[in-house]
Structure 1
Amino acid sequence: MVTAPSERLILASKSAARRSMLSEAGVSFAVQVADVDEDAVKAVHDPADAAGLAIELARVKALAVSRHDADAWVLGADQTLSFDGGLVSKAGSLGEARARLQAMRGRTHQLHSGAALAHKGQVVWSGVDTATMRVRDFSDAFLDAYLATEGEGLLACVGAYRLEGMGAQLFEAVEGDYFTVLGLPLWPVLAELRRAGVLRS
Protein backbone atom coordinates (compact mmCIF):
# COMPACT_ATOMS: atom_id res chain seq x y z
CA MET A 1 0.00 0.00 0.00
CA VAL A 2 1.18 3.52 -0.75
CA THR A 3 -1.32 5.37 1.43
CA ALA A 4 0.18 7.86 3.87
CA PRO A 5 -0.72 6.57 7.37
CA SER A 6 -1.36 10.06 8.79
CA GLU A 7 -4.52 10.65 6.73
CA ARG A 8 -7.68 8.53 6.72
CA LEU A 9 -9.94 8.04 3.74
CA ILE A 10 -13.59 6.98 3.87
CA LEU A 11 -15.47 5.85 0.79
CA ALA A 12 -19.10 6.97 1.10
CA SER A 13 -20.40 4.38 -1.35
CA LYS A 14 -21.66 0.81 -1.21
CA SER A 15 -20.50 0.08 -4.77
CA ALA A 16 -18.39 -3.06 -5.00
CA ALA A 17 -16.86 -1.77 -8.25
CA ARG A 18 -15.65 1.44 -6.58
CA ARG A 19 -14.21 -0.49 -3.64
CA SER A 20 -12.39 -2.77 -6.05
CA MET A 21 -10.96 0.09 -8.11
CA LEU A 22 -9.51 1.85 -5.08
CA SER A 23 -8.19 -1.36 -3.50
CA GLU A 24 -6.51 -2.47 -6.69
CA ALA A 25 -4.93 0.99 -7.03
CA GLY A 26 -3.30 0.49 -3.63
CA VAL A 27 -5.49 2.91 -1.69
CA SER A 28 -6.34 2.20 1.96
CA PHE A 29 -9.83 3.24 3.00
CA ALA A 30 -12.82 2.44 5.15
CA VAL A 31 -16.37 2.25 3.86
CA GLN A 32 -19.28 4.15 5.37
CA VAL A 33 -22.40 4.21 3.25
CA ALA A 34 -23.96 7.67 3.16
CA ASP A 35 -27.55 7.88 4.37
CA VAL A 36 -29.01 10.34 1.87
CA ASP A 37 -32.34 10.71 0.10
CA GLU A 38 -31.27 10.45 -3.52
CA ASP A 39 -34.82 10.90 -4.78
CA ALA A 40 -35.06 14.25 -2.98
CA VAL A 41 -31.85 15.43 -4.65
CA LYS A 42 -33.10 14.29 -8.07
CA ALA A 43 -36.47 15.99 -7.53
CA VAL A 44 -34.92 19.46 -7.44
CA HIS A 45 -32.34 18.86 -10.16
CA ASP A 46 -32.76 19.51 -13.88
CA PRO A 47 -33.21 16.01 -15.39
CA ALA A 48 -31.53 17.21 -18.58
CA ASP A 49 -28.29 17.81 -16.62
CA ALA A 50 -27.33 14.21 -15.85
CA ALA A 51 -23.63 15.06 -15.48
CA GLY A 52 -24.42 17.80 -12.97
CA LEU A 53 -26.63 15.41 -11.02
CA ALA A 54 -23.79 12.88 -10.73
CA ILE A 55 -21.60 15.57 -9.15
CA GLU A 56 -24.38 16.78 -6.84
CA LEU A 57 -25.14 13.27 -5.57
CA ALA A 58 -21.43 12.68 -4.97
CA ARG A 59 -21.16 15.95 -3.04
CA VAL A 60 -24.22 15.19 -0.90
CA LYS A 61 -22.87 11.74 -0.02
CA ALA A 62 -19.39 13.03 0.83
CA LEU A 63 -20.83 15.77 3.05
CA ALA A 64 -23.21 13.43 4.85
CA VAL A 65 -20.33 11.26 6.04
CA SER A 66 -17.85 14.11 6.56
CA ARG A 67 -20.18 15.83 9.03
CA HIS A 68 -19.89 12.79 11.30
CA ASP A 69 -16.13 12.31 10.90
CA ALA A 70 -14.61 15.71 10.22
CA ASP A 71 -10.98 14.60 10.47
CA ALA A 72 -11.24 12.01 7.71
CA TRP A 73 -11.17 12.66 4.00
CA VAL A 74 -14.45 11.42 2.53
CA LEU A 75 -14.90 10.35 -1.07
CA GLY A 76 -18.45 10.44 -2.39
CA ALA A 77 -19.33 9.09 -5.81
CA ASP A 78 -22.33 8.48 -8.02
CA GLN A 79 -23.14 7.64 -11.60
CA THR A 80 -25.98 8.78 -13.84
CA LEU A 81 -27.09 7.72 -17.29
CA SER A 82 -28.49 9.98 -19.98
CA PHE A 83 -30.36 8.50 -22.93
CA ASP A 84 -32.65 9.94 -25.55
CA GLY A 85 -32.47 13.40 -23.96
CA GLY A 86 -33.47 12.30 -20.48
CA LEU A 87 -32.19 10.86 -17.23
CA VAL A 88 -32.42 7.09 -16.70
CA SER A 89 -32.76 5.61 -13.20
CA LYS A 90 -32.11 2.06 -12.04
CA ALA A 91 -34.66 -0.48 -13.25
CA GLY A 92 -37.15 -1.64 -10.64
CA SER A 93 -37.63 -5.11 -12.12
CA LEU A 94 -36.12 -7.43 -14.70
CA GLY A 95 -39.07 -6.63 -16.97
CA GLU A 96 -38.17 -2.95 -16.77
CA ALA A 97 -34.51 -3.79 -17.40
CA ARG A 98 -35.52 -5.75 -20.49
CA ALA A 99 -37.57 -2.87 -21.87
CA ARG A 100 -34.74 -0.42 -21.23
CA LEU A 101 -32.11 -2.54 -22.94
CA GLN A 102 -34.44 -3.08 -25.90
CA ALA A 103 -34.86 0.70 -26.19
CA MET A 104 -31.08 1.20 -26.07
CA ARG A 105 -30.40 -1.50 -28.68
CA GLY A 106 -28.45 -0.12 -31.64
CA ARG A 107 -28.17 3.33 -30.07
CA THR A 108 -25.80 5.33 -27.86
CA HIS A 109 -26.10 6.65 -24.33
CA GLN A 110 -23.80 8.43 -21.87
CA LEU A 111 -22.58 7.41 -18.44
CA HIS A 112 -21.53 10.25 -16.12
CA SER A 113 -19.38 9.34 -13.12
CA GLY A 114 -19.14 12.05 -10.49
CA ALA A 115 -16.89 12.21 -7.45
CA ALA A 116 -16.41 14.62 -4.56
CA LEU A 117 -13.88 14.84 -1.76
CA ALA A 118 -14.94 16.35 1.56
CA HIS A 119 -12.92 17.28 4.65
CA LYS A 120 -14.05 18.89 7.89
CA GLY A 121 -17.64 19.08 6.68
CA GLN A 122 -16.87 20.88 3.40
CA VAL A 123 -16.44 19.72 -0.18
CA VAL A 124 -12.89 20.58 -1.25
CA TRP A 125 -13.05 19.08 -4.74
CA SER A 126 -15.57 17.61 -7.15
CA GLY A 127 -15.50 16.47 -10.74
CA VAL A 128 -17.22 14.35 -13.37
CA ASP A 129 -16.20 12.33 -16.41
CA THR A 130 -18.40 11.00 -19.22
CA ALA A 131 -18.23 7.89 -21.38
CA THR A 132 -20.31 7.27 -24.49
CA MET A 133 -21.64 3.74 -24.81
CA ARG A 134 -22.55 2.32 -28.22
CA VAL A 135 -24.97 -0.59 -27.80
CA ARG A 136 -24.92 -3.23 -30.52
CA ASP A 137 -28.02 -4.52 -32.29
CA PHE A 138 -28.26 -7.68 -30.18
CA SER A 139 -30.89 -10.37 -30.67
CA ASP A 140 -33.82 -11.09 -28.38
CA ALA A 141 -32.31 -14.53 -27.78
CA PHE A 142 -29.12 -12.93 -26.47
CA LEU A 143 -31.14 -10.57 -24.28
CA ASP A 144 -33.05 -13.52 -22.78
CA ALA A 145 -29.82 -15.36 -22.02
CA TYR A 146 -28.21 -12.23 -20.60
CA LEU A 147 -31.08 -11.50 -18.22
CA ALA A 148 -31.26 -15.14 -17.12
CA THR A 149 -27.52 -15.25 -16.41
CA GLU A 150 -27.13 -11.90 -14.65
CA GLY A 151 -30.44 -11.92 -12.79
CA GLU A 152 -31.60 -9.34 -10.28
CA GLY A 153 -28.07 -8.11 -9.66
CA LEU A 154 -28.65 -5.95 -12.74
CA LEU A 155 -31.14 -3.87 -10.77
CA ALA A 156 -28.26 -2.36 -8.79
CA CYS A 157 -26.70 -1.00 -12.00
CA VAL A 158 -28.02 2.22 -13.53
CA GLY A 159 -27.85 0.84 -17.07
CA ALA A 160 -28.87 -2.74 -16.17
CA TYR A 161 -25.40 -3.95 -17.13
CA ARG A 162 -21.92 -4.46 -15.73
CA LEU A 163 -19.19 -3.91 -18.29
CA GLU A 164 -16.87 -6.09 -16.20
CA GLY A 165 -19.31 -8.98 -16.63
CA MET A 166 -21.47 -10.43 -19.41
CA GLY A 167 -22.72 -6.90 -20.04
CA ALA A 168 -19.57 -6.33 -22.13
CA GLN A 169 -21.31 -8.31 -24.87
CA LEU A 170 -24.05 -5.67 -25.14
CA PHE A 171 -21.69 -3.16 -26.74
CA GLU A 172 -19.91 -2.60 -29.99
CA ALA A 173 -17.78 0.30 -28.76
CA VAL A 174 -17.11 2.55 -25.79
CA GLU A 175 -15.70 6.06 -26.06
CA GLY A 176 -14.15 7.14 -22.80
CA ASP A 177 -12.30 5.88 -19.75
CA TYR A 178 -12.94 2.33 -18.52
CA PHE A 179 -12.92 3.41 -14.87
CA THR A 180 -15.56 6.03 -15.64
CA VAL A 181 -17.77 3.27 -17.03
CA LEU A 182 -17.30 1.31 -13.80
CA GLY A 183 -18.44 4.30 -11.75
CA LEU A 184 -15.47 6.44 -10.72
CA PRO A 185 -13.29 9.03 -12.53
CA LEU A 186 -10.28 7.30 -11.02
CA TRP A 187 -7.40 9.38 -12.42
CA PRO A 188 -8.73 12.76 -11.16
CA VAL A 189 -9.63 11.15 -7.83
CA LEU A 190 -6.12 9.78 -7.36
CA ALA A 191 -4.66 13.18 -8.25
CA GLU A 192 -6.80 14.87 -5.59
CA LEU A 193 -5.92 12.25 -2.99
CA ARG A 194 -2.24 12.99 -3.65
CA ARG A 195 -2.88 16.72 -3.39
CA ALA A 196 -4.70 16.20 -0.09
CA GLY A 197 -1.85 14.11 1.31
CA VAL A 198 -3.96 10.94 1.51
CA LEU A 199 -1.61 9.35 -1.04
CA ARG A 200 2.09 9.99 -1.40
CA SER A 201 3.08 12.00 -4.44
Structure 2
Amino acid sequence: MPVLWTPSEKLLLASTSATRLTLLVSAGLSVETQDSGIDERAVEEAAAHEGLDPPALAARLAAEKALAVSRRHPERVVLGADQVLACEGQVFHKPSDRDAAHLQLKRLTGRQHSLHSAGALTIGGQVVETFSDTAHLTLRPLTDEAIDLYLDLAGPDVLKSVGVYQLEGFGIHLFETVEGDHSTILGLPLLPLLAALRRLGCLAL
Protein backbone atom coordinates (compact mmCIF):
# COMPACT_ATOMS: atom_id res chain seq x y z
CA MET A 1 0.00 0.00 0.00
CA PRO A 2 1.33 3.49 -0.83
CA VAL A 3 2.55 5.51 2.16
CA LEU A 4 1.81 9.24 2.47
CA TRP A 5 3.67 10.02 5.72
CA THR A 6 7.40 9.50 5.12
CA PRO A 7 9.16 9.79 8.55
CA SER A 8 9.67 6.54 10.42
CA GLU A 9 7.88 7.91 13.53
CA LYS A 10 4.30 9.19 13.44
CA LEU A 11 3.50 12.89 13.65
CA LEU A 12 3.15 13.79 17.33
CA LEU A 13 0.24 16.14 18.03
CA ALA A 14 0.83 18.19 21.18
CA SER A 15 -2.83 18.09 22.11
CA THR A 16 -5.60 15.72 23.12
CA SER A 17 -8.13 17.52 20.90
CA ALA A 18 -10.36 14.93 19.24
CA THR A 19 -11.29 17.46 16.53
CA ARG A 20 -7.69 18.16 15.52
CA LEU A 21 -6.87 14.44 15.60
CA THR A 22 -9.83 13.70 13.32
CA LEU A 23 -8.73 16.39 10.85
CA LEU A 24 -5.22 14.94 10.67
CA VAL A 25 -6.32 11.33 10.34
CA SER A 26 -8.88 12.28 7.69
CA ALA A 27 -6.03 13.84 5.71
CA GLY A 28 -4.23 10.49 5.77
CA LEU A 29 -1.53 11.40 8.27
CA SER A 30 -0.07 8.95 10.79
CA VAL A 31 -0.62 10.61 14.17
CA GLU A 32 -0.11 10.09 17.88
CA THR A 33 -1.20 12.54 20.57
CA GLN A 34 0.30 13.80 23.81
CA ASP A 35 -0.90 16.54 26.13
CA SER A 36 1.56 19.44 26.18
CA GLY A 37 0.93 20.16 29.84
CA ILE A 38 1.58 23.88 29.46
CA ASP A 39 -0.22 26.50 31.56
CA GLU A 40 -2.11 28.32 28.80
CA ARG A 41 -3.32 31.11 31.08
CA ALA A 42 0.27 31.84 32.16
CA VAL A 43 1.34 32.03 28.53
CA GLU A 44 -1.55 34.38 27.80
CA GLU A 45 -0.64 36.63 30.73
CA ALA A 46 2.96 36.88 29.53
CA ALA A 47 1.76 37.60 26.00
CA ALA A 48 -0.53 40.35 27.31
CA HIS A 49 2.43 42.03 29.01
CA GLU A 50 4.25 41.91 25.67
CA GLY A 51 1.26 43.44 23.91
CA LEU A 52 0.72 40.53 21.52
CA ASP A 53 -2.39 40.77 19.35
CA PRO A 54 -4.78 37.78 19.01
CA PRO A 55 -3.05 36.22 15.93
CA ALA A 56 0.34 36.48 17.65
CA LEU A 57 -1.13 35.00 20.84
CA ALA A 58 -2.44 31.98 18.91
CA ALA A 59 1.01 31.54 17.37
CA ARG A 60 2.71 31.79 20.78
CA LEU A 61 0.39 29.20 22.32
CA ALA A 62 0.89 26.80 19.39
CA ALA A 63 4.67 27.12 19.60
CA GLU A 64 4.77 26.64 23.39
CA LYS A 65 2.68 23.48 23.11
CA ALA A 66 4.89 22.04 20.38
CA LEU A 67 8.12 22.93 22.20
CA ALA A 68 6.96 21.37 25.46
CA VAL A 69 6.39 18.01 23.77
CA SER A 70 9.42 18.33 21.49
CA ARG A 71 11.74 18.64 24.49
CA ARG A 72 10.45 15.26 25.66
CA HIS A 73 10.66 13.72 22.18
CA PRO A 74 13.42 15.58 20.28
CA GLU A 75 13.59 12.93 17.55
CA ARG A 76 9.93 13.41 16.55
CA VAL A 77 8.12 15.89 14.32
CA VAL A 78 5.77 17.61 16.78
CA LEU A 79 2.73 19.71 15.89
CA GLY A 80 1.32 22.32 18.21
CA ALA A 81 -1.87 24.21 17.39
CA ASP A 82 -4.09 26.74 19.06
CA GLN A 83 -6.97 29.08 18.33
CA VAL A 84 -7.92 32.48 19.71
CA LEU A 85 -11.37 34.02 19.38
CA ALA A 86 -11.43 37.80 19.35
CA CYS A 87 -14.37 40.17 19.07
CA GLU A 88 -13.88 43.94 18.98
CA GLY A 89 -10.53 43.64 20.74
CA GLN A 90 -11.67 41.23 23.46
CA VAL A 91 -10.21 37.71 23.66
CA PHE A 92 -12.66 34.97 24.65
CA HIS A 93 -11.88 31.67 26.40
CA LYS A 94 -13.64 28.32 26.68
CA PRO A 95 -16.62 28.73 29.03
CA SER A 96 -16.44 27.01 32.40
CA ASP A 97 -20.13 26.05 32.57
CA ARG A 98 -23.50 26.50 30.88
CA ASP A 99 -24.12 29.96 32.38
CA ALA A 100 -20.77 31.14 31.06
CA ALA A 101 -21.59 29.62 27.66
CA HIS A 102 -24.90 31.50 27.56
CA LEU A 103 -23.19 34.78 28.45
CA GLN A 104 -20.51 34.25 25.83
CA LEU A 105 -23.03 33.65 23.06
CA LYS A 106 -25.02 36.68 24.21
CA ARG A 107 -21.89 38.84 23.88
CA LEU A 108 -21.22 37.53 20.37
CA THR A 109 -24.78 37.64 19.05
CA GLY A 110 -25.30 40.04 16.16
CA ARG A 111 -21.57 40.78 15.95
CA GLN A 112 -18.70 39.61 13.79
CA HIS A 113 -15.79 37.85 15.48
CA SER A 114 -12.54 36.35 14.28
CA LEU A 115 -11.05 32.92 14.85
CA HIS A 116 -7.26 33.05 14.63
CA SER A 117 -5.84 29.54 14.22
CA ALA A 118 -2.10 28.91 14.28
CA GLY A 119 0.30 26.00 14.26
CA ALA A 120 3.95 25.26 14.83
CA LEU A 121 6.10 22.29 13.86
CA THR A 122 9.11 21.43 15.96
CA ILE A 123 12.04 19.04 15.68
CA GLY A 124 14.74 18.65 18.32
CA GLY A 125 13.23 21.26 20.59
CA GLN A 126 13.30 23.93 17.87
CA VAL A 127 10.48 25.51 15.86
CA VAL A 128 11.09 24.70 12.20
CA GLU A 129 7.80 25.82 10.62
CA THR A 130 4.90 28.08 11.59
CA PHE A 131 1.59 28.74 9.87
CA SER A 132 -1.71 30.49 10.54
CA ASP A 133 -5.08 31.45 9.11
CA THR A 134 -8.09 33.52 10.19
CA ALA A 135 -11.82 33.04 9.71
CA HIS A 136 -14.52 35.68 10.23
CA LEU A 137 -17.96 34.71 11.50
CA THR A 138 -21.10 36.65 12.33
CA LEU A 139 -23.75 35.34 14.70
CA ARG A 140 -27.31 36.29 13.87
CA PRO A 141 -29.31 38.17 16.54
CA LEU A 142 -30.36 35.61 19.18
CA THR A 143 -32.81 35.90 22.07
CA ASP A 144 -32.09 34.39 25.48
CA GLU A 145 -34.67 31.72 24.67
CA ALA A 146 -32.95 30.85 21.40
CA ILE A 147 -29.58 30.59 23.13
CA ASP A 148 -31.04 28.29 25.79
CA LEU A 149 -32.63 26.09 23.14
CA TYR A 150 -29.35 25.84 21.29
CA LEU A 151 -27.47 24.88 24.47
CA ASP A 152 -30.12 22.25 25.23
CA LEU A 153 -29.78 20.77 21.74
CA ALA A 154 -25.99 20.90 21.56
CA GLY A 155 -25.28 19.48 25.01
CA PRO A 156 -22.15 19.78 27.16
CA ASP A 157 -19.70 19.32 24.27
CA VAL A 158 -20.05 23.03 23.45
CA LEU A 159 -17.94 23.76 26.54
CA LYS A 160 -14.98 22.29 24.65
CA SER A 161 -15.17 25.07 22.05
CA VAL A 162 -13.94 28.61 22.61
CA GLY A 163 -16.82 29.89 20.49
CA VAL A 164 -19.43 27.72 22.24
CA TYR A 165 -20.53 26.37 18.89
CA GLN A 166 -19.81 23.45 16.62
CA LEU A 167 -20.46 24.29 12.99
CA GLU A 168 -20.55 20.61 12.07
CA GLY A 169 -23.65 20.23 14.26
CA PHE A 170 -26.42 22.43 15.67
CA GLY A 171 -24.06 25.41 15.74
CA ILE A 172 -24.66 26.13 12.07
CA HIS A 173 -28.09 27.54 13.04
CA LEU A 174 -26.45 30.41 14.92
CA PHE A 175 -24.81 32.15 11.98
CA GLU A 176 -25.57 34.81 9.42
CA THR A 177 -22.22 34.56 7.63
CA VAL A 178 -19.14 32.33 7.78
CA GLU A 179 -16.02 33.43 5.92
CA GLY A 180 -13.02 31.14 6.05
CA ASP A 181 -11.70 27.63 5.65
CA HIS A 182 -13.58 24.95 7.58
CA SER A 183 -10.43 23.44 9.10
CA THR A 184 -9.35 26.90 10.30
CA ILE A 185 -12.69 27.28 12.07
CA LEU A 186 -12.14 23.88 13.70
CA GLY A 187 -8.75 25.02 14.99
CA LEU A 188 -6.17 23.58 12.59
CA PRO A 189 -5.55 25.21 9.16
CA LEU A 190 -4.92 22.09 7.08
CA LEU A 191 -3.72 23.61 3.81
CA PRO A 192 -0.93 25.69 5.43
CA LEU A 193 -0.01 22.70 7.61
CA LEU A 194 0.28 20.34 4.65
CA ALA A 195 2.39 22.89 2.77
CA ALA A 196 4.72 23.15 5.79
CA LEU A 197 5.02 19.36 6.05
CA ARG A 198 5.92 19.17 2.35
CA ARG A 199 8.68 21.74 2.89
CA LEU A 200 10.05 19.47 5.62
CA GLY A 201 9.92 16.45 3.31
CA CYS A 202 7.36 14.65 5.49
CA LEU A 203 4.78 13.95 2.76
CA ALA A 204 5.10 11.81 -0.36
CA LEU A 205 2.28 13.68 -2.13
Same fold, judged at TM 0.5 (above)? yes
Q: Distance in 1 between matches of 2:40 and 2:143?
A: 34
Q: Is the 8 A contact 1:48 1:87 kept in 2?
A: no
Deviation at 1:188, TM superposition (A): 0.7
Q: Is the 8 A contact 2:131 2:196 kept in 1?
A: no
* Aligned-residue CA RMSD (Å): 1.4
Partner of 1:171: 175
2:26 — aligned with what? Answer: 24
TM-score, reference length from structure 2: 0.93
Relative to 1, partners in 2 of residues 1:48 and 1:59: Cα closer, same or farther, differing over 3 Å? closer
Q: Compute the displacement of 1:5 (Å).
A: 4.7
**Which residue identity does 1:135 align to in structure 2?**
L
1:7 offset after TM fit, Å? 4.7
Please give the alpha-carbon distance, in whole angstroms, between the structure 2 residues aligned to 1:75 and 1:40. Answer: 20
CA apart distance, 1:192: 1.1
| Contact 1:61 1:76 survives alignment (8 Å) | yes
- Match of 1:67, SS state, is helix
- Which residue number corresponds to residue 15 of structure 1? 17
Distance (Å, rounded) in 1 between the aligned partners of 2:18 and 2:172: 17
Give the conservation status (yes or no) of the 8 Å contact 1:8–1:198.
no
Matches within 5 A, 1:37-56: 37-46=39-48, 49-56=53-60
The alignment partner of 1:92 has SS state of: coil
In structure 2, the partner of 1:89 is 93
Letter in 2 for 1:32: Q
2:135–2:178 CA contact under 8 A, matched in 1? yes
Cα distance change of structure 1 residues 7 and 23 upon mapping to structure 2, 3 Å threshold: same
3-state SS of paired residue (2:72) = coil
Q: Any idea what the Cα deviations from partners look like across 1:136-159, whole Å, max 9, x if unmatched?
A: 113433211111122222111111
| Structure 1 counterpart SS, 2:192 | helix
Asked if 1:148 is matched to 2:149, the reply is no
Q: Percent identity?
A: 46
1:190 is aligned to 194
After superposition, what is the alpha-carbon deviation per residue over 1:96-142, rounded to whole angstroms, capped at 9, x for unaligned?
11011112111100001010000011001112211001111134332
Question: How many equivalent pairs are there?
Answer: 201
User: Which runs of no fewer than 5 residues in structure 1 stay unpaired?
Assistant: none
**Unaligned stretches of 5+ in structure 2?**
none
Q: What code does the residue aligned with 2:155 have?
A: G
Alignment pair present for 1:133 and 2:141:
no
Choose from 90, 105, 108 the match for 2:109: 105
Match of 2:4 among 2, 24, 44: 2
TM-score by length of 1: 0.95
SS of the residue 1:102 aligns to = helix
Runs of 4+ in 1 over 6 A off after TM superposition: none
